[in-house]
Amino acid sequence: MRTKSHGACDVHVGVSNLRRRRLFLRMRQLIFVGFIIYFLYHVISKIRKQKRKYFKEFWNLLELCTVVMSVLTCAMYGAKILFGNTAMDILKESGSGT
């Protein structure tokens, strides 16, 4: 068990609690990606229907910006994971990660 110290009392965090937190995090991430895919499909279909009219309305542009920023967020999160794993592998190989 890991122990976290919070002032006068210690909080024990069990392995199963950590697994539940990770599972909950992964579920939220999958839901987020699902919403992004849905809204991306929605925006693309609206652009195909309305063509140039789509870009003349403020709310459509706001919706498009939201979807683009969400896709960029996912890409940056993926890059963070990739670079973090690469850095950890380098540290483990050099013996500094212990």
22, 4, 20, 24: which is closest to 12 by C-alpha? Answer: 4
Domain carrying residue 47: 2-94
CA distance linking residue 27 with residue 90, whole number of Å = 29
pLDDT score, position 90: 92
pLDDT score, position 2: 52
Task: Domain count for the chain, please give it.
Answer: 1
DSSP class of 10:
E
pLDDT score, position 12: 59
User: If you count DSSP H runs as helices and E runs as strands, how many of each does the chain have, helices first?
Assistant: 2, 2
Token output for 10: 């210690």
pLDDT score, position 81: 94
* Exposure of 3 in the CB half-sphere (CA atoms within 13 A): 5
The series of mean pLDDT values per 10 residues for the chain, 98 residues long, is 54 75 93 95 96 95 95 95 94 77
Is 70 in contact with 36 (CB distance < 8 Å)?
A: yes
